[in-house]
Amino acid sequence: MKRTMLLLVLAFLGALLAAQDYNPYLNMMHSARCADGNLKVRWDDVSGNFLGTQCLYSAEGSAWQQAAVEQLSGTQMQALVPYTYGQSLRYRLRTEITYQGESLVYMQTPFLNADSWPPTLNSLGQIGTDATGDSVTVYDDVLDFTGSWFGSTPNKLYSALGNAANSFPTMNSITSYNVYGTIIANPASVVDTLAFAMLYTFNIPGVISPGLYKASIDDTGMPFYERIGDIQSQVLGGKLYLACNWADLTGDPDFGAWPNAYNALAISSLSMRMAYNIATGDIDFGIGDYSLPAALLFADNHYDVPVNDLPQALNLTVNSGSNTVSFDYLDANGDFPLQADFVITDGPTVSLLPESYDYSQSVHFTAVLPYLPASGQLLLSDNGVDVVQVNWDGVDAPMETVPAPILSCRMANPLRWGSTPYSIALDGLERGPVNVEVFNLRGQNLGSLYAGTADAAGLELNWDGQLGGNALDSGLYFLRITQNGKALNRKFVLAR
């Protein structure tokens, strides 16, 4: 029975991981706060929203609320997310689909503001509900899941479970015990039949105890269990809360690379009844229920700015050979432009299109002009109200200019403690002074990582994670590189 149970769980998660090749959330971006008090959050849904994706938001750690979603055109979707400047806002997407006859959830993982224990249920994201009476081999209302929730911080993973009994007893008799667990699988694991689990159960010395386990099947086809860490567990308000350390998972050599190519994990929860034969020492398992499985995408969509910083237009160029106009767009808050138009003097208006959608750094925009103009004006707006104007005059400036180098930054993200010094590579520099500073999400300058001179287009920096002799706490930060009037903002996570 043990082998059957393990094979079922691993096959089940394997099917979910195969489904992760399909990511419903592409080209996600946000505007600044518009006149109606909302951020415009946009993404591409290749199904044309046939799947009914939800956008949820939470301000200052409040309960998750659902935002209005509309289809703009084709595959592009938009959600209106209320925002007040100075708030700490998080937003995320959730989609429930059917895959090979099974219901699955794709969900951007809720990120918690702090590692408080136990977390409030409202701060976690609900994966889904579960019908009652749908046991696999053993029925008991304490084994019958009714709902599951999940969340994360840079340090911990959090799970919460509800059942039909609103209680989670671990001991039925001297020979009968209950096991409740949240199962975690990484598609980057080199072992196909491998999963990790936070297990909550009765402590039976030499047999099993609450903790973080990895389970696999060896070459002979037998199940293999190994306890690799502790968990936090508590039953509160009829819900079971579980938490484990990220470091215990990622530190295991069989877990696989993290972040992986998907930046996702497969999650489900399982309840079991364990019967212990005192005479023989054998243990038999019976599966109670499993929760709605989910592919959790780890994207922390966090917006926290005190005021709107207007976007910058760099390297505005008209090319006489190709009749194209282009520029480099940079926004300190990572907002995308609601307007990016080139107005030909006494002529038509042309909208420029981006070459990428990562607005945490500069984005190149371009458009084909109907003819070669004598002059024109670039109009930019990230909120539909404030407009940045940049004039271009073909008389006073050459029709073709060689664009200045575009700043770029290459670094691991997240930066994990224990892997210092962190390597930061800067490209697109010019000769002259360059400053590299670190800001928190409220725009406060925490200190300079580098202030010196660049003698070449590239600069390699090694950073120990400290500023002013003090190590930064885990969290989300901005790296700001400035030189000769150019600036690049790069968002990064520091994780213990």
Q: Hey, what are 325's tokens?
A: 């106009």
Choose which CATH entry (2.60.120, 1.10.10, 2.60.40, 2.30.240) describes domain 312-393. Answer: 2.60.40
> In degrees to the nearest 10, what's the CA dihedral of 244, 250, 251, 256?
140
Which pLDDT tens digit goes with each residue over 324-342? 999 999 998 999 999 999 9
The answer to whether the beta carbons of residues 349 and 370 sit under 8 Å apart is no
3 state SS of 243: strand
Listed by start position, the domains of the chain span: 2-302, 312-393, 408-495
The per-residue pLDDT for 4 is 40
Residues 6+ apart with CB under 8 A from 46: 24, 26, 75
Q: Are 422 and 493 in contact (CB under 8 A)?
A: no
Top mean-pLDDT range of 98-102, 190-194, 438-442, 456-460: 456-460
Q: What does 24-56 look like in DSSP terms, one character per residue? A: S-EEEEE----TTSEEEEEEE-TTTTTT--EEE
Comparison of pLDDT for 368 and 439, the residue scoring more = 368
Does a cis peptide bond (omega within 30 degrees of 0) precede residue 205?
Answer: no
pLDDT value at 1 more than 80: no
* pLDDT at site 488: 79
Q: Which of 247, 4, 297, 379 is nearest to 127 (CA)?
A: 297
**Secondary structure (DSSP) of 181-202:** EEEEE-TT-S-TTEEEEEEEE-
Q: Tell me the H-state helices in 168-268.
A: 246-250
pLDDT digits (tens, 9 = 90+) for 427-483: 888 878 888 988 876 667 888 989 888 877 788 889 888 888 888 888 778 888 888
Asked whether 228 and 248 are in contact (CB, 8 A), the reply is yes
Q: Is the pLDDT of residue 309 over 70?
A: yes
Selected from 2.160.10.10, 3.40.50.720, 1.20.120.50, 2.60.40.2550, the CATH number assigned to the domain covering 408-495 reads 2.60.40.2550
Cis, peptide link before residue 169, omega less than 30° from 0: no
Nearest one of 169, 198, 166 to 182, comparing CA atoms? 198
Compute the radius of gyration of the chain from its Cα atoms: 26
CA angle 149, 151, 155 (to 5 degrees): 145
**Domains 312-393 and 408-495 belong to one CATH topology:** yes
466's CB contacts (< 8 A; 6+ apart) are 472
Q: Find the helix or strand (DSSP H, E) in which 344 lies.
A: strand 339-344
| pTM score | 0.76
